[in-house]
Amino acid sequence: MIELLHITERSLWESAEAAGTYAMSTRGKTLQEVGFVHCSFPHQVRAVAELLYGTDPAPGELVLLVIDPRRLDGVPVRVEEAVPGGERFPHLYGPLPVSAVTEVRAWPRPEERSQKERMLAGDLYLADDPELAADALRAGELAERYNASSVTDQPARQALLRELLGEVGEDVVVRPPLSVDYGQYVSIGARTFVNCGAVLLDVAPIRIGEDVQIGPNVQLLTPTHPLAPEPRRAKWEAAKPITIGDNVWLGGGVIVCPGVTIGANTVVGAGSVVTRDLPADVVAVGNPARVVRDVPRS
């Protein structure tokens, strides 16, 4: 769900709370005058606030309304161009029920989180951020060196792997080439084997247990994107962690989607796409992967 946001004067919101509905648009104009309540997507709200109220509003003067579109009680929402050929914004064609406002924040907020902090919290963030770009560049350079390392110099290869990844247990083998986003959010337990062509997109943590077998060209993908087109066009994204339990076997070409946990001892057949959690001690195959039997105990 993408929240809708609206910046307003605190006094106007306090009056609306008493009335039960909010019926202002922007620049002091009412819903009746404009025809809709102008809202913003998360990536738009700062620019809108600066346009309407400047970059340095008086402390306590403004509030940010966080709106859950599921609570609008039938009020239509249309995503429309603010001006012909311009950016598209969500507009509410009816008064905003106070009950649809899930949070009222002071604006500007005293402490804004960095994009990296937003990313690590699992919230929407902008990947086109200098701090994140520097982390990704570091990972890319280390991965390039690791993938070019000599098979005859295993100590040097292992040293590069430990520098690239967040945690590497004893006797771990990862055959190049290996692709990561940041590397530092990947942990691999002892005695795990990762075959060539692994793609570990660790925007959120990827935790791989001990004694895991990972076939060639397996993809563990934590990033996700908004379904709504406007925030996706503005490059907002998020991520959900992936956890692979001890002694799991992922066949060649398996894809594990964001937010999935696979229980210990489970086997996933080659080419399967895992979109939901899998319990321990089962065999799963297909797209999407489905449990077809229990793991034999002998």
| Residues that are catalytic | 225
Three-class DSSP category at 231: helix
Of 239, 208, 245, 194, whose CA–CA distance to 221 is shortest? 239
Other C-beta atoms closer than 10 Å to the C-beta of 64 total: 19
Residues in the chain: 298
Q: Using CA atoms, how far apart are residues 162 and 175, in angstroms rounded to an integer?
A: 14
Please state, in angstroms and as integers, the Cα–Cα distance from residue 10 to each residue in 59, 112, 232, following that order: 11, 20, 30
Given the DSSP bridges, would you call strands 4-9 and 62-67 parallel, antiparallel or unpaired?
antiparallel
Q: Using CA atoms, how far apart are residues 243 and 207, in angstroms rounded to an integer?
A: 5
